[in-house]
Amino acid sequence: MKNAFSRCLEKIKSACYSVSVAIHSAKRKIFKKSRPRTMSSRRRGELAFFIALVAYPLAQFAVFYIGVNINSVLLAFQHFDTGTAQFYFNGAGELFDNFASFLSDLRGNAARITATLNSVILYVCTLCIALPLNLVFSFFLYKKVPAYGFFRVVLFLPQIISALVVSLMFRYFVENALTTVIGFNLLTTKKTGFATIVFYNIWAGFGTQILIYTSAMTKIDDSLVEFGELEGISLLREFWQITLPLIFPTITIFLVAGIAGLFTNQAGLYNFYGGGARDDLQTLGYVFFVRIIRSDNASYAQYPYASAAGLLFTLVATPITLAVKYLLEKFVPSTE
Amino acid sequence: MIRKTTAMILCALMVFSLGGCQFRRDDVEEYDPTKTYLYIGNYDGGLGDEWLLALAEEYMAEHTDVIIRIENDKDRFADATLLEQMDNYGYDMYFVNAVTYSNYVARGKMLNITDAVTTDLDGENESIADKMNPTLREYYQTEDDQFYAVPFFDSIFGTVYDVDLFETEGFYYNENGNLMCDDPTSDVKSAGPDGKMETEYDNGLPATYSQWENLMHTMKYDFSIIPYIWTGEYTYYRYRFLTSIWADYEGKADFDLNMTFNGSYTFDGDETATPISVNNAYLLQQQQGKKYALDYAEYIVRNGLYVKTSFDGTNTHMMAQRSYLDSAVEGDRIAMIIEGGWWENEARSFFDEIVADSGEEYAFGTRRFAFMPTPKSDDGKSDPDTTLISSTGNSVAFIAANTAEPELAKDFLRFVHSDHGLRTFTRMTGAIRPYDYELEEGDLAEMTHYAKNMWEIYHSEDTEISYVTLYYNDCFVQEASFLGSNWWWKSTVNGREYLDAMWEFSQEPSLNAENYFLGLQTTFSQSVWNNRMSKYFD
């Protein structure tokens, strides 16, 4: 109680001091003889340089992020008129038509339901399979197992090569080489198609996470590890009780980013199939990506529908993402 | 100083990046300011540009003050990209594969060419519009009777067969109704699907479903020949194959209802026709032509009448073409390929490669291929005429609204659409333009067997063409997520949805033509239809 009172007193004192400083500086500004401010040529040069440096990225950000997103929100309440090839706002009674169409599809359209399920499955697999594997491999690389340099290169290789090339190689390998061995095509067989896509995503996403986890692990204080070694802890215990808690903030970033990308991850399907992936393989991210990307159909009329869906996804994903972030931060293992 | 220079470079980069795409008419090698330049953008697809170069050369020879420049591209001339970017491209006119016509007109991207299209051509008694295919004329003439584009080329889609193989192995039906390989007593071909001996293009081909089934059985089990190959890369090849069978069964007028939602249809078992509008178009899912097409799909897939890679995404359309051609010299022989009319020209380089390895008898133009019209149903319910589907109704030639040379462009457009220009196109590409024009003996002599066969079928008085890629009804644009490809072949069976019938038959043993057909009506039930489409009801 006493502590609380003294803290409160301190705050009041601090506020009073701030006010007095503000009054003093205002008085100085008012009564001080104004002197014309000039800029030296050096300063002007620096300013020009700074403006030239930031103008382009800022313009890009303004147009391709802020502008696009504002336009996307507006599109959700518009429709495309084929007579004039322009977008117009829906009438008062039809303002939410695009949302209604999407929700109707989500309820009644089996393909859309499959896409939703696939998105969730992909995330869960990434979480339950890819994450532990990445952590384990990172840990072994961090502990410098024999030939760790070789493994690091091999695991990171898919990230160096273009994603399109990697998916093409994977696809040819599965459809041609592997088919001759196992007798059927894993990608074109319905029962194994999506599982193969999930495998591809886990495999192709290996490098980045390993690189970042390994980097986070190398920042762990050596003395901490050495102390553990002197205490004779096993590798498993070191991983579980030292490494994992210390890199958990990094893991949190991937988990939160994964949730945020739940509705936008197209699972590399466009690289595999262009705009023609089968229904049983599609994720929500892919469904809406191909809806607007294709150039041979009535894609313009689909912009409002896709925008409405995107807005709904944001409304769902944002609280989930924030909740996951909050929970992870709250229950993060102590690094003390 | 370094900072200043860097700042200037950055500013310059910004300015260049904004202005770098601007087209300059004089930005060509050896620009001659005394000449008038015409710039043409040409879609770099299966047709190539030889025909256009040839016509441009002729035109320039007659007009010595004109220079025509042609640039080929594929991605830049794709529908939406071209619509957004054509102001920067700066070409005067385009010959492109597919556009959404209404978008271009509404956005003012196309020059009004009504005068060039509707006035008689030099030395001819008819205009471009007079020669134009009536269906396409109606489509490209706007409500206020104006033309902003003209159709480019026509390409029918369906089954192509190897004539040499059919002749060698006796796969034609003879006048006794038997396969020649089974009945050597007569080598006079039967009348084919159209029942007319005078139309030779289909003589000897299976006239009915049961004859087709018999042929497939004979090929596979008696000759170890694989009947079909198709690309696995583009699923729409399979959809269109089925659609071509359905269209032929129904006939053009009834089939086109599926795109216009306007007319009337007599359903199976009814005595009177039911008026069809957007209010009740879901009823069209009951068209028996769909069931007929699904019977083919089920038979082909369940009996393994196809090359195993046909469902592989890595089996591109070019690879399928190559495998089909290669099968004559190595591996299992393949009798038919599911393709568009452009395929032979597109596969030209493959012919050359095979010639280099195996001899001149495999050369382009020496090997013979032909189009196989759909056999009629055994119960006689198929439409008696031949209805073919074209997937290129939205390919167009047009002049850019911002052209610097409108009159020159119009004149060249008229030249290209003269009888001579149209003939040159067909002679050099083997493809057909949807206009009324005749070929001369000399032209035919230069064309391949396949091109001549297509020409004959296309121009037969019994043949009708349905254009499956045209947006006759706005609903298809507005409700692409609901209709789109779903409208054609999406089936719901036991709560599960299926879109690609041929592939689904290869995966789901419980699926068959019957339940797939009924599932089409479940997908587009009355309640589903009303729920989504009521805002368009009359």
Q: pLDDT-based confidence at A144, cuts 50/70/90? A: confident
pLDDT band at A277; cut points 50, 70, 90: confident
Residue at A276 is within a domain: yes
Separation CA B203–CA B189 (nearest Å): 6
- As a whole-number percent, the residues of chain A with pLDDT over 70 amount to 90
Closest CA to B155 of B385, B449, B471, B426: B426
* B281 and B415 within one domain: no
CATH code of the domain covering residue B160: 3.40.190.10
CATH of the domain at A313: 1.10.3720.10
Of A48, A172, A188, the CB nearest to B7: A48
Confidence bin at A333 (pLDDT 50/70/90): low
In a domain, A179, yes or no: yes
* Final residue before a domain boundary, out of B377, B403, B437: B437
Q: Give me the mean pLDDT over the B432-447 stretch.
A: 94
Q: What is the pLDDT of residue B480?
A: 80
User: What is the pLDDT at residue A245?
Assistant: 87
Q: Does the pLDDT of residue B18 top 60, yes or no?
A: no
List all residues of chain B from 374 to 413 with a beta carbon under 8 Å from chain A: none
Taking CA atoms, what residue in B is nearest to A102? Answer: B481
Same structural domain for residues B147 and B169? no
| Residues of chain A contacting B312 with CB distance shorter than 8 Å | 175, 185, 187-188
Q: Is A108 on the interface with B (CB under 8 A)?
A: yes
Is residue A63 located within the same domain as residue A187?
Answer: no
| Mean predicted confidence (pLDDT) in B24-50 | 84
Residue A196's pLDDT is 95
Specify whether A64 is located in the same domain as A123. no
The answer to whether A46 faces chain B, any CB pair under 8 Å, is yes
Is the CB of B363 inside 8 Å of chain A's CB atoms? no
Sheet containing B66-73: give its strands across: B66-73, B36-43, B93-96, B396-399, B150-151
For residue range A26-77, list pLDDT tens digits in order.
Answer: 767 666 655 555 667 778 888 888 888 899 889 999 999 999 999 999 999 9
∠ Cα B54 B363 B198 (to 5°): 85
CA distance A239 to A241: 6
CA distances from B177 to B184, B187, B190 (A): 12, 11, 7
Band of residue A211 on the pLDDT scale cut at 50, 70, 90: confident
Q: How many beta-carbon pairs under 8 angstroms link A with B?
A: 129
Tell me whether residue B500 is in a domain: no
- Confirm if B347 and B363 have CB atoms less than 8 A apart: no
Count of domains for chain B: 2
The continuous run of DSSP H or E covering B335 comes out as: strand B334-340
Rounded to whole angstroms, how far apart are CA atoms B224 and B227?
9
Residue B391 · residue B220 · CB < 8 Å:
no
Range with lowest mean pLDDT among A17-21, A235-239, B386-390, B487-491: A17-21
B236 in a domain, yes or no?
A: yes
| Residue B7 one-letter amino acid | A
In a domain, B348, yes or no: yes
Q: Establish if A269 belongs to a structural domain.
A: yes
Question: Predicted confidence band at A297 (pLDDT cuts at 50, 70, 90)?
Answer: very low
Q: How do B496-498 and B463-467 pair as beta strands?
A: unpaired
Residues A57 and A159 in one domain: no
Measured in angstroms, the CA of A84 and the nearest CA of chain B are apart by 4
Q: Please judge whether B311 and A185 are an interchain contact, meaning their C-beta atoms are less than 8 angstroms apart.
A: yes
Contact B232/A at CB under 8 A: yes
Q: Which of A84, A185, A276 lies nearest to residue B106, judging by beta carbons?
A: A84
Asked whether the beta carbons of A167 and A266 are under 8 A apart, the reply is no
Tell the residue number behind the tokens 């339950």, with chain if given.
Answer: A128
Q: Are residues B237 and B189 in the same domain?
A: yes
Minimum-distance CB partner of A298 among B78, B309, B480: B480
- B204 and B241 in a single domain? The answer is yes
Measure CA B464 to chain center: 14
- Together in a domain, A311 and A252: yes
- What residues of A are in contact with residue B14 (Cβ under 8 Å)? 52, 55-56, 59
Gyration radius of chain A over CA positions: 28
Chain B residues 236-275 with a CB less than 8 Å from chain A: 236
Structural domain boundaries enclosing A323: 110-330
User: Encoding tokens for residue A200?
Assistant: 């591809």
Residues A209 and A70 in one domain: no
The burial of B335, by beta-carbon neighbours within 10 Å (0-12 exposed, 13-18 middle, 19 or more buried), is given as buried
Domain assignment of residue B538, yes or no: no
Q: Which residue has the higher pLDDT, A104 or B133?
A: B133
B223 touches chain A (CB under 8 A): no
Domain end, chosen from B322, B355, B390, is at B390
Residues B287 and B142 in one domain: no
Partner residues linked to B72 by β-bridges: B42
Pair (A235, A302) in one structural domain: yes
- Which amino acid type is present at position A142? Y
Question: Does one domain contain both B226 and B137?
Answer: no
pLDDT tens for B194-249 read 999 999 999 999 999 999 999 999 999 999 999 999 999 888 899 999 999 999 99
State residue B215's pLDDT score. Answer: 98
What would the two tokens of residue B403 be? 């052209």
A152 and A71 part of one domain: no
SS3 B162: strand
Predicted local distance difference test score (pLDDT) of residue B479: 84
B111 within some domain: yes
Q: What is the structure's pLDDT at A296?
A: 43
Q: In this structure, are A144 and A61 located in the same domain? A: no
> Does one domain contain both B129 and B197?
no
Q: Residue A82 and residue B532: Cβ atoms within 8 Å?
A: no
pLDDT for residue B516: 98
Whether residue B312 lies within 8 A of chain A, CB to CB, comes out as yes
List, for residues B261-275, the tens digit of each pLDDT value: 999 999 999 999 999
Which residue, among A244, A209, A248, A210, has the nearest Cα to A224 in the 3D structure?
Answer: A244
Which amino acid, B359?
G
Residue B102: its chain A contacts at CB < 8 A? 82-83, 85
Q: Does B119 touch chain A (CB under 8 A)?
A: no
More confident residue, A165 or A14: A165
Same domain, yes or no: A196 and A305: yes
Residue B110 belongs to what domain range? 22-154+392-437
Cβ contact, residue pair B79, A83, below 8 Å = no
Query: Does residue A106 sit at the B interface (CB-CB below 8 Å)?
Result: no
Residues 6+ apart with CB under 8 A from B86: B94, B109, B400
Residue B473 lies in a domain: no
- Among the listed residues B436, B430, B420, the one whose alpha carbon sits nearest the alpha carbon of residue B455: B430
Task: Please report the pLDDT score of residue A38 as a whole number.
Answer: 67
Mean pLDDT of B477-492: 87
Q: Which of A75, A95, A129 is the last residue of a domain?
A: A75
CB contact (8 A) between residue B481 and residue A298: no
Would you say residue B324 lies in a domain?
Answer: yes
Q: Is residue A105 part of a domain?
A: no
Answer whether residue A81 is part of any domain.
no
Are residues A214 and A71 both part of a single domain?
no
Give residue B45's pLDDT band: very low, low, confident or very high (50, 70, 90). confident
Pair B340, B408 in one domain: no
Q: Is residue A150 domain-resident?
A: yes
- What mean pLDDT do residues B507-512 have? 94
pLDDT, mean of residues B421-438: 94
3-state SS of B141-160 is ECCCCCECCEECCECEEEEE
8 A C-beta contact, residue B51 and residue B428: yes
Domain's final residue, options B400, B420, B437: B437
B1: closest CA of chain A, how far (Å)? 9
Asked if B7's CB is within 8 angstroms of A52's CB, the reply is: yes
B241 and B140 assigned to the same domain: no
Closest-CA residue of A relative to B505 is A190
- Asked whether the beta carbons of residue A295 and residue B80 sit closer than 8 angstroms, the reply is yes
| Mean of pLDDT over chain B | 92
Q: Is A301 in contact with B478 (Cβ distance < 8 A)?
A: yes
B125: in domain: yes
The Cα B283–Cα B280 span in angstroms is 6
The answer to whether position A15 is within a domain reads no
For chain A, the domain total comes to 2
Amino acid at B517: F
Q: Which residues of B touch A191 (CB under 8 A)?
A: 507
pLDDT of A1 strictly over 80: no
Please report which helix (H) or strand (E) contains residue A119, including its range: helix A110-125
Residue A28 lies in a domain: no
Same domain, residue pair B317 and B280: yes
CB-based contact (8 Å) between A171 and chain B? Answer: yes
How high is the ipTM of this complex? Answer: 0.73
DSSP symbols for B401-460 = TT-S-HHHHHHHHHHHTSHHHHHHHHHHHS-B-SB-----HHHHHHS-HHHHHHHHHHH-
Among A145-159, A239-253, A300-314, B393-407, the range of highest mean pLDDT: B393-407
Q: Which residues of A touch B233 (CB under 8 A)?
A: 274, 276
Task: Specify whether A198 is located in the same domain as A62.
Answer: no
The full DSSP string for B260-324 is: H--EEE--TT-SSPEEE-TTTGGGGGG-HHHHHHHHHHHHHHHTT-B-GGGG-TT--HHHHHHHH
Kindly list the residues from chain A whose CB atom is less than 8 angstroms away from the CB atom of residue B536.
none
> Which residues of B are less than 8 Å from A272 in CB distance?
313
Domain match, B275 and B386 both: yes
- C-alpha distances in Å from residue B207, one per residue of B189, B271, B373: 11, 27, 9
A155 vs B150, higher pLDDT: B150
State the maximum Cα–Cα separation within chain A, in Å, rounded to a whole number: 91
**What one-letter code names the amino acid at B360?**
E
Question: With contacts defined as CB-CB under 8 Å, which chain A residues touch B235?
Answer: 276, 278
Whether A67 and A115 map to the same domain: the answer is no
Say yes or no: B142 and B265 in one domain: no
Q: What are phi and psi of B155, to 5 degrees?
A: -145, 115
Residue A256's alpha-carbon distances to A68, A268, A320, A324, B107, in angstroms, are 24, 20, 9, 7, 43
Query: Is A171 in Cβ contact with B311 (below 8 Å)?
Result: no
| Residue whose pair of structure tokens reads 């989500």 in the numeric block | A106
Structure tokens at A101: 């169409």
